[in-house]
Amino acid sequence: MPRFATHGLKLRATLRVKLFHLLIGPGLLRPIFTLLRKICPILVLGKNAIVTRHADVIEVLTRDTDFTIAEINEARFSQGDGPFILGMDRSPQYDLESATLRQVVRPDDLEQIRRLVKQEAERLVAAARPHAKIDVVNGLARVVAVRLVDSYFGIPAPDDPSMMRWMRDIFHGLFFNPTGDASVNRDLERSAPELREHMNGVIAERKSRLHEPDQPDDVLGRLLLLQNAENAWLDDRSVRRNLGGLIVGAVDTTSKFVTLAIDELLRRPVALAAARAAAMAGEIQTVQDYAYEAARFNPHHPVQARFCKHETKIAGGTLRAREIPAGTTVYVATLSAMFDPEGFVEPKKFRVHREVEYLHFGYGMHRCFGRAINGVQIPELVSTLVRLPNLRRAAGQAGRIAWDGPFPERLILEFD
């Protein structure tokens, strides 16, 4: 369960936001979801529904024309920089923009990303060695993610604190403010224009030398090279809007996943030792298996929301089938699905090499666009940490996760 430490930290979340995120911690949600799966797998309360069984979660996330996302995300995105594919339902515009992003974020980039992440992570660990301690959040995971925003996506930070603040404020406001907290909205309203102004400057500067020799081959450069008569829609604002959507989800998501995975491994010495052995042997896929299984016990995004456009049925043909009224917000409990024994065998046990897809990055049409990048970045960061000899928590509160609203802000680990 998250603890909201205040020791030396400027934690911006109000009591209402803290309470909300306390309530969605796994220590409370898991037993509630276990009960619901047994007695009421599809709970409908007025205009809200909760779906808890693995098969039903997959069904809802697959039926993307019945259970849509625009009603959930579109209005919030207008507070940022406008529409992005994560706020769009199936449409010609979605097809156009998602296809364009797939042209510039390529599978054959993954080894380059791996090298960048590994190099930066090793540099940060080397800097931490004289102190024999490292902050998983602001001494490693967030820093590496910001470097990737620069070196791969093409948006350099004016300075790390500013970029980290922009990424967190905007991501918090767009995706993690269900209570409509005024302070979170103020942070979003401050940071979104600042990021836009910064990106406008970066885009203008890159365009001025786009065709000069030795230009970096990054996502921004690729988008700018696609600006032609055949892509009349792809003006500078559309470049900024799409690239901004990618980078906003690239920092705190990675940092949170890595922090929670390491926290869970530290609770399980046998699993931690096995992950370390795999890392020392260079078995990065096995490290990923350990990281993803660890994060299953405390996922970075335990519930997703969808909107029911018209009256329909979930789990048709089964005894648990329920009619869902039009206009219902459907809460899809991916955490619960990953503890449903019908989907995950022996869910209470820590088991690697599961032959089932984890739901950390969603499912169906709106799977996280950067999941392949996360599939490289997360195991490399976890591997860098678990290779450290005698990795352990720092004494006292420093060795426990301190939270800034929904985001880990600090986790100090020591090593020999």
What's the CATH code of the domain at 309? 1.10.630.10
Assess whether pLDDT exceeds 90 at residue 169. yes
Q: Say if residue 243's pLDDT is above 50.
A: yes
Residue 201 belongs to a domain:
no
pLDDT digits (tens, 9 = 90+) for 350-398: 999 999 999 999 999 999 999 999 999 999 999 999 999 999 999 999 9
pTM of this structure: 0.93
User: Above 50 in pLDDT, residue 301?
Assistant: yes
Alpha carbon distance, N-terminus to C-terminus of the chain: 28
Which among 258, 253, 72 is positioned nearest to 170, based on CA atoms? 253
The arithmetic mean of pLDDT across residues 306-329, rounded, is 97
CA proximity to 266, closest of 291, 302, 300: 291
Is the residue at 220 inside a domain? no
Q: How many domains does the chain have?
A: 1
pLDDT surpasses 50 at 3: no
**Stretch 102-114: mean pLDDT:** 97
When pLDDT is cut at 50, 70 and 90, the band that residue 2 belongs to is very low
Identify the weakest region by mean pLDDT among 78-82, 182-186, 191-195, 266-270: 78-82
3-state secondary structure of 174: helix
pLDDT score of 7:
39
pLDDT score recorded for residue 9: 41
| pLDDT confidence tier of residue 100, bands split at 50, 70 and 90 | very high
Q: Is the pLDDT of residue 177 over 70?
A: yes
- Asked whether residue 139 is domain-assigned, the answer is yes
pLDDT of residue 15: 61
What confidence score (pLDDT) does residue 4 get?
Answer: 37
- DSSP string of 218-279? SHHHHHHHT-SGGGTT--HHHHHHHHHHHHHTSSHHHHHHHHHHHHHHHT-HHHHHHHHHHH
* 63, 196, 197, 325, 402 from 44: Cα distances, Å: 18, 40, 44, 9, 35
48 CB neighbour count, 10 Å cutoff: 12
266-289 mean pLDDT: 98
Which pLDDT belongs to residue 178? 79
- Does residue 189 sit within a domain? no
Label residue 13 by pLDDT band (50, 70, 90). very low
**205-227 average pLDDT score:** 95
Range of the domain at 41: 15-74+106-159+248-414
Closest CA to 328 of 131, 13, 45: 45
191 located within any domain? no
The answer, yes or no, to whether residue 337 has pLDDT greater than 80, is yes
Mean pLDDT estimate for the chain: 93
In a domain, 282, yes or no: yes
What does the pLDDT average to over 309-333? Answer: 97
Q: Percent of the chain, pLDDT > 70?
A: 94
Asked if the structure places residue 49 within a domain, the reply is yes
Would you say residue 373 lies in a domain?
A: yes
